[in-house]
């Protein structure tokens, strides 16, 4: 890791605000909102994602962002890479024909979808979100991409919560995390 890369990671780290006991007791919530308020921190996030994508995913054709925080970083990265951006949303939020997948949550299920024409068969995509916790949401997004016959090259997140071991669900896919807690 270059010195410049490490300085950017430190800048991003300084702009993540911890909230103990949110949304319930025993949870340490990592708030990324301060990154969005500080142009240098936001630029550092996109710089780090761009550097990783250019080095490891030369053939990426599309960035796919997960509802909702993947929408904040994905379009900026896509624009830097000169490629398109597509949304994966919660069920019922997209117009037109959609493809969906149901996935398990800690207490129940959820459903996410993409517009039917959002990703072409064989298209090489990178998934982006703010957080990897248990891995369920990113795994569901990968399943949605399989339904679309897209090729998932990898996943990128700002924060990985190591103790929840979500990365295991995503194997053999590569997951790039800017920060690990």
**106 labelled catalytic:** yes
Catalytic site residue from 54, 61, 89, 106 = 106
Return phi, psi of residue 39, to 5°.
-55, -40
With beta carbons less than 8 A apart as the criterion, state whether 116 and 93 touch. Answer: no
Q: Would you state the structure tokens that stand for residue 115, as one six-digit string?
A: 């517009």
Catalytic site residue from 69, 89, 113, 160 = 69
Phi-psi region of 92 (alpha: psi -120 to 50; beta: other; left: phi over 0): left
Instruction: Tell me how far apart the alpha carbons of residues 123 and 78 are, in angstroms, rounded to a whole number.
Output: 15
* Bridge pairing between strands 84-90 and 151-160: unpaired
Q: Which residues are catalytic?
A: 69, 106
């Amino acid at each position: 890791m270059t010195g410049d890369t490490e300085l950017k990671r430190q800048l991003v780290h300084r702009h993540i605000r911890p909230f103990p006991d949110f949304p319930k007791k025993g949870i340490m919530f990592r708030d990324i909102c301060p990154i969005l308020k500080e142009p240098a921190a936001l630029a550092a996030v996109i710089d780090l994602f761009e550097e990783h994508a250019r080095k490891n995913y030369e053939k990426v054709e599309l960035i796919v962002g997960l509802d909702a925080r993947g929408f904040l970083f994905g379009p900026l990265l896509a624009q830097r890479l000169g490629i398109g951006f597509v949304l994966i949303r919660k069920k019922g939020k997209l117009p037109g024909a959609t493809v969906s997948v149901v996935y398990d949550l800690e207490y129940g299920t959820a459903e996410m979808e993409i517009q039917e024409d959002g990703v072409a068969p064989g298209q090489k995509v990178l998934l982006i979100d703010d957080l990897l916790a248990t891995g369920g949401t990113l795994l569901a997004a990968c399943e949605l991409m399989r339904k679309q016959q897209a090729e998932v090259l990898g996943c990128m997140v700002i924060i990985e919560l190591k103790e929840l071991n979500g990365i295991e669900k995503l194997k053999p896919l590569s997951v790039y995390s800017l920060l690990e807690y």
